[in-house]
Homo-oligomer: A and B are copies of this chain.
Protein backbone atom coordinates (compact mmCIF):
# COMPACT_ATOMS: atom_id res chain seq x y z
CA UNK A 1 0.00 0.00 0.00
CA UNK A 2 1.49 3.28 -1.11
CA UNK A 3 1.95 5.90 1.50
CA UNK A 4 -0.24 8.88 0.91
CA UNK A 5 1.04 12.40 1.01
CA UNK A 6 0.61 13.83 4.46
CA UNK A 7 -2.59 15.78 4.93
CA UNK A 8 -3.87 14.12 1.77
CA UNK A 9 -7.15 13.38 3.51
CA UNK A 10 -8.09 17.06 3.41
CA UNK A 11 -7.98 16.98 -0.33
CA UNK A 12 -11.27 15.28 -0.96
CA UNK A 13 -10.03 13.84 -4.23
CA UNK A 14 -8.62 10.36 -4.62
CA UNK A 15 -9.76 9.05 -1.26
CA UNK A 16 -13.33 10.14 -1.85
CA UNK A 17 -13.45 8.26 -5.13
CA UNK A 18 -12.65 4.92 -3.57
CA UNK A 19 -14.77 5.21 -0.46
CA UNK A 20 -17.38 7.82 0.25
CA UNK A 21 -15.60 9.45 3.18
CA UNK A 22 -18.31 11.98 3.81
CA UNK A 23 -19.04 10.60 7.25
CA UNK A 24 -18.69 13.19 9.99
CA UNK A 25 -17.96 12.09 13.54
CA UNK A 26 -19.31 14.34 16.23
CA UNK A 27 -17.61 12.57 19.13
CA UNK A 28 -14.77 10.17 19.91
CA UNK A 29 -15.10 8.60 23.35
CA UNK A 30 -12.80 5.87 24.58
CA UNK A 31 -14.62 3.40 26.79
CA UNK A 32 -12.57 1.73 29.52
CA UNK A 33 -13.88 -1.64 30.59
CA UNK A 34 -13.29 -2.77 34.16
CA UNK A 35 -14.17 -6.05 35.84
CA UNK A 36 -17.72 -5.86 37.20
CA UNK A 37 -18.74 -4.42 39.60
CA UNK A 38 -15.71 -2.14 39.85
CA UNK A 39 -16.99 0.60 37.53
CA UNK A 40 -18.44 2.65 40.39
CA UNK A 41 -15.09 2.60 42.17
CA UNK A 42 -13.29 3.35 38.92
CA UNK A 43 -15.43 6.44 38.31
CA UNK A 44 -14.58 7.63 41.81
CA UNK A 45 -10.90 6.99 41.14
CA UNK A 46 -10.88 8.99 37.89
CA UNK A 47 -12.59 11.87 39.71
CA UNK A 48 -9.98 11.87 42.47
CA UNK A 49 -6.97 11.14 40.29
CA UNK A 50 -7.65 13.44 37.35
CA UNK A 51 -10.49 15.69 38.46
CA UNK A 52 -12.85 14.07 35.95
CA UNK A 53 -16.51 15.04 36.20
CA UNK A 54 -19.26 12.50 35.79
CA UNK A 55 -21.79 13.71 33.26
CA UNK A 56 -24.08 10.72 32.98
CA UNK A 57 -24.47 7.14 34.09
CA UNK A 58 -26.52 4.35 32.58
CA UNK A 59 -27.12 1.29 34.70
CA UNK A 60 -27.71 -2.20 33.40
CA UNK A 61 -31.45 -2.91 33.41
CA UNK A 62 -31.03 -6.45 34.72
CA UNK A 63 -29.12 -7.71 37.72
CA UNK A 64 -28.22 -11.33 38.12
CA UNK A 65 -29.54 -11.46 41.65
CA UNK A 66 -31.48 -9.05 43.77
CA UNK A 67 -28.64 -8.46 46.20
CA UNK A 68 -26.14 -7.54 43.50
CA UNK A 69 -25.26 -3.98 42.75
CA UNK A 70 -26.68 -2.78 39.45
CA UNK A 71 -23.90 -2.92 36.89
CA UNK A 72 -22.75 0.20 35.11
CA UNK A 73 -23.45 -0.03 31.39
CA UNK A 74 -21.67 3.24 30.84
CA UNK A 75 -20.63 6.19 33.00
CA UNK A 76 -19.49 9.18 30.99
CA UNK A 77 -16.71 11.31 32.40
CA UNK A 78 -15.55 14.70 31.23
CA UNK A 79 -11.87 15.45 31.40
CA UNK A 80 -10.99 18.88 30.05
CA UNK A 81 -12.76 19.01 26.70
CA UNK A 82 -12.65 15.25 26.24
CA UNK A 83 -15.19 12.64 27.27
CA UNK A 84 -14.45 9.02 28.08
CA UNK A 85 -16.58 6.37 29.71
CA UNK A 86 -16.18 3.54 32.15
CA UNK A 87 -18.21 0.34 31.95
CA UNK A 88 -18.55 -2.84 33.93
CA UNK A 89 -17.37 -5.87 31.99
CA UNK A 90 -19.79 -8.48 33.23
CA UNK A 91 -19.54 -11.18 30.63
CA UNK A 92 -16.08 -11.59 29.17
CA UNK A 93 -17.31 -13.81 26.36
CA UNK A 94 -20.23 -11.64 25.28
CA UNK A 95 -18.48 -8.31 25.01
CA UNK A 96 -16.29 -7.54 22.05
CA UNK A 97 -13.25 -5.59 23.13
CA UNK A 98 -9.97 -4.47 21.71
CA UNK A 99 -7.20 -7.01 21.51
CA UNK A 100 -4.62 -4.79 19.88
CA UNK A 101 -1.09 -4.34 21.07
CA UNK A 102 -2.36 -2.20 23.88
CA UNK A 103 -3.07 1.43 24.33
CA UNK A 104 -1.96 4.28 26.52
CA UNK A 105 -3.95 7.37 27.46
CA UNK A 106 -2.00 10.58 27.12
CA UNK A 107 -2.97 13.59 29.22
CA UNK A 108 -1.34 16.93 28.58
CA UNK A 109 -0.94 19.50 31.33
CA UNK A 110 1.36 22.33 32.37
CA UNK A 111 1.68 20.70 35.78
CA UNK A 112 3.00 17.21 35.07
CA UNK A 113 4.48 16.72 38.52
CA UNK A 114 1.35 17.90 40.29
CA UNK A 115 -0.85 15.69 38.14
CA UNK A 116 1.26 12.63 38.88
CA UNK A 117 1.33 13.37 42.59
CA UNK A 118 -2.47 13.69 42.63
CA UNK A 119 -2.95 10.47 40.64
CA UNK A 120 -0.57 8.57 42.90
CA UNK A 121 -2.32 10.02 45.94
CA UNK A 122 -5.58 8.62 44.57
CA UNK A 123 -4.11 5.14 44.13
CA UNK A 124 -2.25 5.06 40.81
CA UNK A 125 1.27 3.62 40.69
CA UNK A 126 4.03 5.74 39.18
CA UNK A 127 6.21 4.04 36.60
CA UNK A 128 9.63 5.52 37.27
CA UNK A 129 10.34 9.20 37.69
CA UNK A 130 9.09 12.13 35.69
CA UNK A 131 11.71 12.81 33.06
CA UNK A 132 12.61 15.80 30.97
CA UNK A 133 12.37 14.83 27.32
CA UNK A 134 14.07 17.09 24.80
CA UNK A 135 11.48 18.95 22.79
CA UNK A 136 8.60 17.36 24.67
CA UNK A 137 8.92 18.84 28.14
CA UNK A 138 8.24 16.73 31.19
CA UNK A 139 6.81 13.24 30.83
CA UNK A 140 5.73 10.70 33.43
CA UNK A 141 3.64 7.54 33.51
CA UNK A 142 1.24 5.99 35.97
CA UNK A 143 -0.73 2.77 35.94
CA UNK A 144 -4.17 3.04 37.47
CA UNK A 145 -5.77 0.40 39.75
CA UNK A 146 -7.71 -0.98 36.76
CA UNK A 147 -4.62 -1.66 34.66
CA UNK A 148 -4.77 1.36 32.37
CA UNK A 149 -1.61 3.32 31.70
CA UNK A 150 -1.69 7.11 31.59
CA UNK A 151 1.15 9.18 30.18
CA UNK A 152 1.15 12.65 31.72
CA UNK A 153 3.11 15.10 29.63
CA UNK A 154 3.66 18.75 28.93
CA UNK A 155 1.43 20.08 26.13
CA UNK A 156 2.60 19.14 22.65
CA UNK A 157 4.70 21.95 21.19
CA UNK A 158 3.34 21.64 17.67
CA UNK A 159 0.14 23.47 16.90
CA UNK A 160 -2.19 20.58 16.33
CA UNK A 161 -5.27 22.66 15.72
CA UNK A 162 -6.22 24.46 12.56
CA UNK A 163 -3.78 22.55 10.39
CA UNK A 164 -6.49 21.96 7.83
CA UNK A 165 -8.16 25.34 8.19
Does B96 contact A141, Cβ atoms closer than 8 Å? yes
Q: Does A65 contact B (CB under 8 A)?
A: no
- Of the residues B18, B31, B35, B56, contact of A158 by C-beta under 8 Å: B56
Contact B98 A29 (CB under 8 A): no
Which secondary structure characterizes the binding site on chain A? mixed
Q: Cα distance A104–B81 when bound, in Å?
A: 19
Q: How large is the interface on A (under 10, 10 to 19, 20 to 34, 35 or more residues)?
A: 35 or more
A100:B28 contact, CB within 8 angstroms: no
Assess whether A57 is in contact with B6, with CB atoms less than 8 Å apart. Answer: yes
CA of A84 to CA of B47 in the docked complex: distance in angstroms? 22
Q: Which residues of A contact B (CB under 8 A)?
A: 1, 3-4, 6-10, 15, 18-35, 40-41, 44, 47-48, 50-57, 76, 78-85, 89, 96-111, 114-115, 118, 121-122, 127, 141, 143, 146-149, 151, 155-156, 158, 160, 163-164
